[in-house]
Amino acid sequence: MSESLERYEAEKQENYQARFNKLQISLEEDDIKGFREDFLDMHTYEQASFFREQPVELRRWIYGYLSPAEFAEIIESMDFEETLEYFTEMDPQYSGAIMTELPVDDAVDILSLLEKDEVASFLTLMDQESAEEIKLLLNYEEKTAGSIMTTEFIALYDTQTVEQVMKLLKEEAPDAEMIYYLYVVDEAKKIVGVLSIRDLIVSDYDALIKDVMSEWVITVSAGKNQEEVAQLFMDYDFLAVPVVDFQNHLIGIITVDDILDVVDEEASEDYSKLAGVADGEHHTDTPFEAAKKRLPWLIILLFLGLFTASLIGQFEETLEQVAVLAIFIPLIAGMAGNTGTQSLAVAVRGLATGNFGKQGKFKWLLRELGTGMITGGVSGVILAIVIFIWQQNLVLGLLVGVSIFASLIVATIAGAFIPILMDRLKIDPAVASGPFITTLNDITSILIYFGMATSFMSYLV
Amino acid sequence: MSESLERYEAEKQENYQARFNKLQISLEEDDIKGFREDFLDMHTYEQASFFREQPVELRRWIYGYLSPAEFAEIIESMDFEETLEYFTEMDPQYSGAIMTELPVDDAVDILSLLEKDEVASFLTLMDQESAEEIKLLLNYEEKTAGSIMTTEFIALYDTQTVEQVMKLLKEEAPDAEMIYYLYVVDEAKKIVGVLSIRDLIVSDYDALIKDVMSEWVITVSAGKNQEEVAQLFMDYDFLAVPVVDFQNHLIGIITVDDILDVVDEEASEDYSKLAGVADGEHHTDTPFEAAKKRLPWLIILLFLGLFTASLIGQFEETLEQVAVLAIFIPLIAGMAGNTGTQSLAVAVRGLATGNFGKQGKFKWLLRELGTGMITGGVSGVILAIVIFIWQQNLVLGLLVGVSIFASLIVATIAGAFIPILMDRLKIDPAVASGPFITTLNDITSILIYFGMATSFMSYLV
């Protein structure tokens, strides 16, 4: 960062601080009017930052200062896990009213974090119409288009005129989540077209919607996986897509801001799985919480490691005769583990972006066989030569070289095959996480190495 | 996927195929009018899919059928690396005209893939005004707000009325990249406010912009890192943000569709680095290309592995006396490697999302020390007990247990410290990739293990 950029950022920071200090004073002096004036002038994200810094007593005052609709906007900008604590602090009527004011997709996300009976009691506190909509949405499976869509959208009929629609927008725009794309339906509520606000603005006021809309609408069905929906947004640069049921009825829309969260969430999940960390680990966790989340994997690995140890134990006689064999264990296991992780990562990314076709997966495995033969061949030849020169032992060099050749081929194919198999079994391929593949490849590579060493023992001693 | 969802998707697929077949016939029969009618009716993403399937001769025909403006829209929806091939097939005048028609941010992205002299020759083929804008943007460093912004935006003055702005939009909407947020500037072009189309639509026609706009605008400076800009979009649910220079002059805007690509690109980069795969690896690469991209890491690891081997070699005497020591090498190295990857992953995610403050980093290392002590302690005790029972050797059990305890502490701290150090040195912390940390921790854990074994040798034999 250049110095002037740093200064610029620092000035912006001071600006924030001054605003916050002024607000803090109004709040502590119980100056409702002054507080509301400054507070409501800020973006909801800043409102949330300020609110979050307050102790529980002052948070309770803030609930009293703001209408449920005003507070709902703050909730919207928060991480929903975080909001659960605040809901418990509120008067039940107030929290029910907030739930009613929230965009339905957000209300559903929050409710899906709660136990069934808590959800039921929330629903009784809410406006009946909203409660019905939410019940409907709660039925969609997690991580599908249905679960991230909102039902607050504006639908038009193709027989309306541009002018009528502009008037309609004037009335409905404040409530709808997305007004930049408008979806057009026929009398049976089946989707027949789409038009953007841009199309609307550049059209004559008396033109018919049917003449200015595009009939070529991309829709997603409610059961579609959210990751595939995200891919669609990236391919088409959409700001929203309509969600339809099997009869092509428009039942909701998904907006780009939710997709941004999906992309971030899915990427972070894949990343965590590759590293063998529970996705829920947060930097504010205490050491105990963090350890509790990491230990399950470590204990699985511990027992896999003991299994590997018992396998090597089978070769103890070999080891006692040729102790030098032991020094290459980390090299062979490490390289096999890393090769497997490489091919795993490429396969998981490929599956996530839907880049393989049906035949593509078999072709992919063949390609990985080729890649493994090349990386294994190159590494094997280098190792054989280096070890021959270093240890003055041709047989040992050949043994390690050939073991690496075979191990890298097996590891490369395993790294590609396992996620593809999991995908076929409809399990998220990212579950075949890094530590698992690494340990699996540790074991096979050591078996190859010691198996060969034992067979050629007579040449080694 | 339920059966009806599969049928629904299959029907959609057939629909596409029918369209494509019809187009293919028009193209092969050189039926320009029929081709244009069907082709231009499709979304540009489908246009690109169709175009991509054609052999080079037919692609040349398509260039002849479409205006540069029409083809520019197809280019926009493609992966820019891919487009380089097509540009070389075109008549230079045609490619220059396409470059002129492209949104400037996209043109800049494509040109930044080329060599300097190629860029210069492209710029001479372009409309002068566009060429100047592009030259300006090419000056911004890669991965900064400046490099992903577009200069095609609509700026308003605060003294205009809503009606005037609606008229202006009617004229300018077709060219501007984003019309959903409008930024308001004063006479000196400094940014003073923002309003959304939504605000505009619900306002009276004769209201003044200054009265309907919000004065609280979030801006980013042109030098800001694109990852931080993406975080801002996620926090605030923006569709666009204005980019300003140090004097707060509005110089461009960044739109959410580009941010979606940034989030995806950065996540995929971090993921690839964790797995030690070059980011450029693509599923269409041949085995040779894939191997070429993976081998650099593998060869580094190979020599690090040889170094580890030579370290263990120092303890050959110890090994010869107590061969059973060798069987726990993979377990100790593997667990240390995985623990390090876990804390690395959490630290890299934390740094990427800017979740640590300045003091936060030191507190973070302390937390990781605590986490390492707990995970190490638990794993150490389990191992000591299991090995004592299995091998009937208390000293061996204690040796492995204590080694794991010490190794996991070191590995956990190393995994957290190295990315933080890199961040401080202004290096992307994700560069401290998985294989590197894993191998480093292999080495330290083995040194701890054999160092302790050698010291307590007299109790082991």
* Confidence check: pLDDT of A431 > 80: no
**Lowest mean pLDDT across A124-138, A229-243, A424-438, B139-153:** A424-438
Each residue of A397-418: pLDDT tens digit?
999 999 999 999 999 999 989 8
B294 touches A: beta carbon within 8 Å: yes
- Residue B226 in any domain: the answer is yes
B382, pLDDT greater than 90 = yes
pLDDT value for A430:
63
Q: What does the pLDDT read at residue B6? A: 63
Q: Are A281 and B355 in contact (CB under 8 A)?
A: no
pLDDT of residue B120: 85
A446 and A306 share a domain?
Answer: yes
Q: How many interface pairs between A and B have CB atoms less than 8 angstroms apart?
A: 375
Contacts of A313 in chain B (CB under 8 A): 324, 327
Predicted confidence at residue B430, as pLDDT, reads 64
With pLDDT > 90 as the criterion, what percentage of chain A qualifies?
20
Residues 312-331 of B with CB under 8 A from A: 312-313, 316, 319-320, 323-331
- Segment A305-327 shows an average pLDDT of 85
Q: Is a pLDDT exceeding 80 seen at residue A30?
A: yes
Distance CA A183, CA A217 (A): 9
Least confident of A321-325, A328-332, B272-276: B272-276
Q: According to the model, what pLDDT value does residue B14 have?
A: 75
Residue A409 near residue A375, CB atoms below 8 Å: no
- A7 to chain B: closest CA residue: B246
In this predicted structure, what is the pLDDT of residue B435?
77
Supply the mean pLDDT for chain A: 85
**Average pLDDT for chain B:** 85
**Is A262 inside a domain boundary?**
yes
Distance of residue A110 Cα from the nearest chain B Cα, in angstroms: 17
Which pLDDT value is given to residue A63?
Answer: 92
Q: Do A435 and B338 touch (CB under 8 A)?
A: yes
- Same domain, residue pair B59 and B189: no
Say if residue A90's pLDDT is above 50.
yes
Q: Sorting pLDDT into bands at 50, 70 and 90, what band is B1?
A: very low
Work out the pLDDT band at A1, boundaries 50, 70, 90: very low
Tell me, yes or no, whether B400 lies in a domain.
yes
Among A257-261, B257-261, B373-377, name the most confident range.
Answer: B373-377
CATH number of the domain to which B213 belongs? 3.10.580.10
Q: Facing residues of B193 across strands?
A: B184
Does B365 contact chain A (CB < 8 Å)?
no
Encoded tokens for A87: 């809901």
- With respect to residue A276, please indicate whether it lies within any of the assigned structural domains: no
User: CA of B192, closest CA in chain A: separation in Å?
Assistant: 15
Q: Is A112 helix (H, G, I), strand (E, B) or coil?
A: coil
Tokens 């390289």 sit at which residue?
A: A335
- Is residue B304 scored above 50 in pLDDT? yes
Hey, which residues 119-148 in chain B have their CB within 8 Å of chain A?
none
What is B116-134 written as a DSSP string?
A: HHHHHHHHHHS-HHHHHHH
Contacts B235 to A, Cβ<8 Å: 45, 77
Q: Do A237 and B323 touch (CB under 8 A)?
A: no
Question: Does residue A77 have a pLDDT over 70?
Answer: yes
Q: What is the CATH number of the domain that holds B50?
A: 1.25.60.10
At A130, the pLDDT band (50, 70, 90 cuts) reads confident
Which of the given ranges, A47-56, A177-186, B1-10, has the highest pLDDT on average? A47-56
| CA A240/CA A238 separation, integer angstroms | 5
**With an 8 Å Cβ cutoff, are B329 and A326 in contact?**
yes
User: How far apart are the C-alpha atoms of B442 and B427, rounded to whole Å?
Assistant: 24
Higher pLDDT, B461 or B25: B25
- Identify the domain boundary among B96, B117, B148: B148
Nearest CA in chain A to B42: A216
Whether the CB-CB separation of B325 and A295 falls below 8 Å is answered with no
pLDDT classification of A383: cutoffs 50, 70, 90? very high
Does residue A346 have a pLDDT over 90?
Answer: no
Q: Are residues B90 and B213 in the same domain?
A: no
d(CA A307, CA B72): 59
pLDDT score for A72 = 92
Q: Is pLDDT of A4 > 70?
A: no
| Enclosing domain of residue B46 | 14-148
Where is mean pLDDT largest: A66-75, A286-295, B292-301?
Answer: A66-75
Task: Select the residue of A261, A271, A306 nearest B234 (Cβ to Cβ).
Answer: A261
Judged against a pLDDT cut of 70, whether residue A78 lies above it is answered with yes
Q: What is the pLDDT of residue B198?
A: 83
pLDDT at B2: 47
- Over 80: is that where the pLDDT of A131 sits? yes
Cβ-Cβ contacts under 8 Å, A281 against chain B = 346
Nearest to A330 among B218, B333, B434 (CB): B333
Q: Which of B256, B277, B296 is the last residue of a domain?
A: B256
Per the CB < 8 Å rule, is A346 touching B281?
Answer: yes
Q: B250 with B296, same domain?
A: no
Q: What is the pLDDT of residues B55-114, one digit of tens each?
A: 888 899 899 899 999 999 999 888 888 888 899 889 888 988 898 888 888 888 888 888
Same-domain pairing of B294 and B439: yes
pLDDT the model gives residue A433: 67
Q: Residue B353: pLDDT band by 50, 70, 90 thresholds?
A: low
A116: in domain: yes
Higher pLDDT, B151 or A282: B151
Same domain, B143 and B159: no
Q: Per the CB < 8 Å rule, is A298 touching B446?
A: no
Residues whose CB falls within 8 Å of the CB of residue B64, separated by 6 or more in sequence, listed in order: none
CATH number of the domain encompassing residue B383: 1.10.357.20
Nearest to B323 among A5, A197, A320 (CB): A320
Say what the pLDDT of residue B399 is. Answer: 93
Instruction: Give chain A's radius of gyration (CA, Å).
Output: 30
- The pLDDT of residue B4 is 58
Distance from CA of A456 to the nearest CA of B (A): 19
- From A261's Cα to the closest Cα of chain B, the distance in A is 7
Residues A189 and A243 in one domain: yes
Interface contact A305-B221, CB threshold 8 A: no
pLDDT for B72: 92
Q: How far is the C-alpha of B91 from the C-alpha of B95, rounded, in Å?
A: 6
User: Does B366 lie in the same domain as B402?
Assistant: yes
From the centroid of its chain, how far is CA A44? Answer: 24
Decide which of B145 and B17 is more confident: B145
Lowest mean pLDDT among A254-258, A423-427, B50-54: A423-427
pLDDT at residue A6 tops 70: no
Give pLDDT tens digits for B415-452.
Answer: 989 888 888 887 776 665 677 788 888 889 999 999 89
Q: Are residues B348 and B430 in the same domain?
A: yes
Is residue B262 domain-resident?
no
Question: Would the CB atoms of B344 and A275 count as touching at under 8 Å?
Answer: yes
Cβ of residue A4 closer than 8 Å to a chain B Cβ? yes
CB nearest to B331's CB, from A1, A2, A306: A306
Residue at which a domain ends, from A268, A297, A324: A268
pLDDT greater than 70 at residue A226: yes
pLDDT reading at B3 higher than 60: no
Are residue A299 and residue A442 in the same domain, yes or no? yes
Residue B7 has pLDDT above 70, yes or no: no
CB atoms within 10 A of CB B369: 15
Number of domains in chain A: 3
3-state secondary structure labels for all residues of chain A: CCHHHHHHHHHHHHHHHHHHHHHHHHHHCCCHHHHHHHHHCCCHHHHHHHHHHCCHHHHHHHHHHCCHHHHHHHHHCCCHHHHHHHHHHCCHHHHHHHHHHCCHHHHHHHHCCCCHHHHHHHHHHCCHHHHHHHHHHHCCCCCEHHHHCECCCCEEECCCEHHHHHHHHHHHCCCCCCCCEEEEECCCCEEEEEEEHHHHHHCCCCCEHHHHCECCCCCEECCCEHHHHHHHHHHHCCCEEEEECCCCEEEEEEEHHHHHHHHHHHHHHHHHHHHCCCCCCCCCCCHHHHHHHHHHHHHHHHHHHHHHHHHHHHCHHHHHHCHHHHHHHHHHHHHHHHHHHHHHHHHHHHHHCCCCCHHHHHHHHHHHHHHHHHHHHHHHHHHHHHHHHHHCCHHHHHHHHHHHHHHHHHHHHHHHHHHHHHHHCCCCHHHCCHHHHHHHHHHHHHHHHHHHHHHCHHHHC
**A450 and A308 share one domain:** yes
| B1 assigned to some structural domain | no
Q: Under the phi-then-psi rule, with left for phi > 0, alpha for psi from -120 to 50, and beta for the rest, what region is A354? A: left
End-to-end CA, chain B: 61
Structure tokens at A295: 């230990």
Judge if A305 and A432 occupy the same domain.
yes
**Residue A8 confidence (pLDDT) above 70:** no
Q: H helices then E strands: how many in chain A? A: 23, 6
Residue A191 lies in a domain: yes
- pLDDT value at residue B129: 83
